[in-house]
Amino acid sequence: MRTYKLTLAYDGTNYVGWQRQANGASVQQLVEEAFAPLVDGVAPTVAGAGRTDAGVHALGQVASVNAEIDLSPQAVQRALNVRLPADIRVLHVEDATPGFHARFHAVRKQYRYRMITASVLSPFDRWYVWHAPGRRNVDVMREAAAVLVGKHDFASFQARGASVAATIRTVHDVNLASEGDEIRLTIEGDGFLRHMVRAIVGTLVEIGRGWRSPDDMDALLARGDRGAAGATGPPHGLFLVRVDYH
């Protein structure tokens, strides 16, 4: 048995997310199907570090797989990319320690969210940014985002109906950058709840529009009520950038 660590990039536009689902094609499904010919037609389970939602993209998703084969990492990479569609690419493959699991052994993840505030959106950006025209006060958005750094209960930013019981997470860093008509939120933490980044973005947008005060962020963390926070930003502005391990 050999354990491989895969690093992948994908355009999530055409997929229901990373995880296998009955209602459409997933990235996990296609990677597993691409692996099947390498292991006598029986697709192995490929575990991803993050369960990105439908429409969410990845620049550095990490996955792990155990397989009864004796192929070099380079051979596995070539074989997978030949079989995968062009919107999913295996960037790197390496041997991993037996027992390595991409999700359970991850210690830090970085996500980036892109938003364009121009009145007209370039057609080449339409699947990769949230088009939210209108001026925003980036300074007050940055002030509110800084409150998120640290160990907090992020229940107010978890998707309704999510089954995760423990909602405490540690955010290590938040950066809100503005360049021209683009606003980019980069956030790093030990883990993220379902829709957490998108709910944070939606709340920050409302603060930037003056609909909320930056002081509201402390109260939202304390309330633990999803209904109290802002709307959930659309998925196509979100990218899983990086996953770190010890």
Q: Which residues are catalytic?
A: 53
* CB-based contacts of 171, cutoff 8 Å, min separation 6: 148, 149, 150, 152, 187, 188, 189
Q: List helix spans (H) across 64-215.
A: 73-83, 138-146, 196-208
Q: How far apart are CA 209 and CA 191, in angstroms?
A: 28
Structure-token pair, residue 10: 């994908």
Residue 119 has what DSSP assignment?
A: S
Is the dihedral angle over the CA atoms 43, 49, 54, 56 positive or is it negative? negative
HSE (CB half, 13 Å, CA atoms) of 158? 20
